Amino acid sequence: MSIQPFHLAFPVRDIPEARAFYGGLLGLSEGRSSEEWIDFDMYGHQVVTHLDRNLNKSTHHNEVDGHAVPVPHFGVVLTMDDWRALRDRLVAEKVKFQIEPYIRFEGQVGEQATMFFLDPSGNALEFKAFADMSQLFAK
């Protein structure tokens, strides 16, 4: 399966803060930018932070596998090695997790490693990985 890059634009409250989080903490390469937006390369996908000085985040949650999953959220399905490396970097940086890194649906169809955390503007991110990528869309 050939996967095309997706494009996602979302609001942030502060551009330098977004640059420090996405470029610094997450290590994403920066593309074009202005005083009001920044393009980032998120594992081959284009995510764009757009300044919203009036940003007022409210997050809804749905129960999944006994955890309150923030909605909306976005992220990337990584390899297990990349997921572990990101988890270890975030733990070392003392990132506050909304849902601590763990294995969801353990021993079931769709077993996956997952973790949730917020950016400084309150946008929820999920990074996940599958030991068996054929489980990505398994029912």
Dump the DSSP string for 70-114.
EESEEEEEE-HHHHHHHHHHHHHTTPPEEEEEEEETTTSTT-EEE
Q: What is the pLDDT of residue 1?
A: 62
pTM assigned to the model:
0.92
Q: What is the pLDDT of residue 56?
A: 86
Q: Which domains can be identified in the chain, with CATH numbers?
A: 7-51 (3.30.720.120), 60-135 (3.10.180.10)
User: Between vectors from CA 88 to CA 87 and to CA 91, what angle results, nearest 5°?
Assistant: 85
Contacts of 18 (CB under 8 A, 6+ apart): 12, 38, 49, 119, 120, 121
The whole-number mean pLDDT for each consecutive block of 10 residues of the chain, a chain of 139 residues, reads 90 97 98 97 97 88 93 95 97 97 92 96 97 88
Nearest to residue 124, comparing CAs of 114, 136, 112?
114
Q: What is the pLDDT of residue 135?
A: 86
